[in-house]
């Protein structure tokens, strides 16, 4: 049977229990602010993370928009370049063939120019055939935008349209005057196919 506690022992036991409860309460009180601070810090941290994510999404959006605009510009430039190439092919695609046909014109022109009156009487039918061939060739040239450059003696030399084959001092002329036309030039639309070959005066202007 347990020995009955004296009044002194009972009082000491109660005091010890009271001290223990007080320390426990202090621990709860001390830890409470930390928990409160933790609860307050959590929403602030989430807000900061959300703001960073939003900023990253905006940057990605701007980058994609910039790429999209650049892609549209490249596509438009490619379309314009293809359209320009198509038009040039339609307009100037036959320049090589046209250039190869120019000697045919030169030979026909030379044949008509060098024929004497006697030859014209003897070979009248032949010369008529040559003239018809020349006219038909010029019609084909015109149909395809090929126009002759036909300077005349006395015209001013134009380096954009004429090619000087020689220079010579000729009385009553000025420097740069055309004194002889050796070959007709040609334009393909607005592009020079062949310059007219000419002789140019070297006499200084008075």
Asked if residue 101 and residue 83 are part of one domain, the reply reads no
d(CA 92, CA 191): 8
For residue 25, tell me if it sits in a domain: yes
Domain interval for residue 42: 9-92
- pLDDT band for 85, please (50, 70, 90 cuts): confident
CATH number of the domain at 205, please.
2.30.22.10
Asked if residue 165 and residue 130 are part of one domain, the reply reads no
Asked if residue 154 and residue 121 are part of one domain, the reply reads no
Mean pLDDT of the region 132-136: 93
d(CA 72, CA 68): 6
- Host H or E run for residue 86: helix 7-92
Asked if residue 84 and residue 16 are part of one domain, the reply reads yes
List strands edge to edge, sheet with 191-194: 146-149, 185-188, 191-194
Q: How far apart are the first and last CA of the chain?
A: 158
Domain count within the chain: 3
For residue 23, tell me if it sits in a domain: yes
Sole residue written with tokens 């092919």? 89
Beta strands in the chain (DSSP E): 146-149, 162-168, 178-183, 185-188, 191-194, 196-201
What's the predicted TM-score (pTM) here? 0.59
Asked if residue 153 and residue 117 are part of one domain, the reply reads no
For residue 4, tell me if it sits in a domain: no
Asked if residue 150 and residue 140 are part of one domain, the reply reads no
Asked if residue 71 and residue 30 are part of one domain, the reply reads yes
Helices (H), 93-179: 95-114, 117-122, 124-143
**123 phi and psi, to 5 degrees?**
-115, 50
Q: pLDDT (tens digit, 9 = 90+) per residue, 41-79?
A: 556 667 777 888 888 888 888 899 899 899 989 999 999
Sole residue written with tokens 């003897």? 122
Q: pLDDT (tens digit, 9 = 90+) per residue, 173-200?
A: 999 999 999 999 999 998 999 999 999 9
Q: pLDDT (tens digit, 9 = 90+) per residue, 136-148?
A: 999 999 999 999 9
Domain termination residue (choose one: 92, 111, 131)? 92
């Amino acid at each position: 049977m347990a020995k009955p506690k004296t009044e002194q022992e009972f009082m000491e036991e109660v005091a010890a229990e009271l001290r223990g409860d007080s320390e426990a309460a202090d621990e709860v009180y001390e830890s409470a602010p930390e928990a409160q601070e933790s609860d307050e810090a959590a929403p602030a941290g989430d807000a900061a993370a959300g703001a960073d994510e939003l900023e990253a999404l905006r940057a990605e959006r701007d980058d994609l928009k910039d790429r999209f605009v650049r892609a549209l510009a490249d596509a438009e430039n490619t379309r314009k370049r293809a359209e320009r190439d198509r038009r040039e092919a339609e307009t100037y695609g036959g320049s090589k063939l046209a250039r190869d046909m120019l000697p045919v014109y030169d030979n026909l022109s030379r044949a008509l120019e060098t024929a004497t009156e006697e030859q014209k009487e003897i070979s009248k039918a032949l010369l008529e055939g040559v003239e018809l061939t020349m006219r038909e060739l010029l019609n084909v040239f015109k149909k395809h935008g090929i126009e002759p450059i036909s300077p005349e003696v006395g015209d001013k030399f134009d380096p954009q349209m004429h090619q000087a084959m020689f220079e010579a001092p000729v009385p009553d002329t000025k420097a740069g005057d055309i004194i002889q036309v050796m070959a007709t030039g040609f334009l393909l639309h607005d592009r020079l196919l062949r310059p007219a070959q000419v002789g140019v005066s070297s006499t200084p202007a008075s």
